Amino acid sequence: MIFDGNSLIKNNKKIINPKKLEIEKHIITKFLTHGELGFSYIFFKNEIFKAFKLSKSIVEFINDEKERDNKINIIKINKNIEDSYQIKINPIYLNFLISIVESYHGIPVPSITTSFLGAL
């Protein structure tokens, strides 16, 4: 991969899709625009920890559902996170977490379309 500033010039293996980096751009922008460096580091660390913790929670939920032979869908995953952590998850952030689960943990997650059709 070759970067020129914040533009992706060469992405031979298509590892990074620049159109799907909305959450990453938001985190980096907030990190870079914060006035005090110490607070920027704390914010950045907290965002990474939050993404790690929530993605790990998704992995645990998927493994529990597989053990019970229940079907896994993104709707159940979203509800589990919202109930467990008492937070509302933005669909874009949920996709960010799902991409972490799929690429870092190697666990496939059904798409929203598959999940929605399966719920019907």
Q: List pLDDT tens digits, range 43-66.
A: 999 999 999 999 999 999 999 998
pLDDT above 70 (res 15)? no
CB atoms within 10 A of CB 59: 17
Q: Mean pLDDT: which of 16-20, 69-73, 87-91, 110-114 is highest?
A: 87-91
The type of residue at 74 is I
Specify the pLDDT at position 77: 93
Q: At a CB cut-off of 8 Å and minimum separation 6, what does 84 contact?
A: 57
Specify the pLDDT at position 35: 77
Q: What is the pLDDT of residues 80-96, one digit of tens each?
A: 999 999 999 998 899 89
